[in-house]
Amino acid sequence: MINKKMEEALNGQIREELYSAYLYLSMSAWFETINLKGFANWMKVQTQEELFHATKIFDFLNERQGTVKLQQIDEPPDKWDSPLAAFESAYKHEQHITGCINDLVYEAIEEKDRATQVFLDWFVNEQVEEEASVDEIVQQLKLVGEKGQGIFMINRELGTRTFVPPGQSEQST
């Protein structure tokens, strides 16, 4: 059975993951308003990834006879200055999430909760992918600049992304 301190920390992480989903869904909506449907698609798939992360912790807490307590989720921003600004902000957010996961690992070590440590390994690896996939798009956007054909090429490529539950197949980005 999971202890109360760890349970509380994991419930906090469910909120973080649901906020990530909310943030990327908001970015998807914004990309729709500027007619970059490929970017909007990428963000919608990212939303599904985040819901998967939240649900994975939800299931783990239940499995460890913990209690899931869903918390209030903040309202995300609803516009950005440019596609690059949105992806830079997504990258910053992923770095924040990596920090949250690392803090959870340190807490699990402190609590001598070996099962949670092993569980969190998946998230540690996932964050490496999360940061890398967002950074790749940031770099592409910097390369092509804010306007012109380059943006539409990236838009086309991002439009092909589909949701594959993490760990079940190849990278979905």
Which spans of this chain sit near ligand OFO (rule: CB under 6 A)? 17, 20, 50, 53, 94, 97, 130
Q: Which is nearer to ligand OFO, 20 or 89 (CB)?
A: 20
Output the smallest distance, CB 126 to ligand OFO, in A: 6
Output the smallest distance, CB 94 to ligand OFO, in A: 5
- Residue owning tokens 């500027």: 34
Query: By Cβ distance, which residue is nearest to ligand OFO?
Result: 20
Output the smallest distance, CB 62 to ligand OFO, in A: 19
Output the smallest distance, CB 88 to ligand OFO, in A: 15
- The answer to whether 19 and 73 have CB atoms below 8 angstroms apart is yes
Q: Which is nearer to ligand OFO, 65 or 168 (CB)?
A: 168
Q: Which is nearer to ligand OFO, 130 or 151 (CB)?
A: 130
CA distance 45 to 22: 12
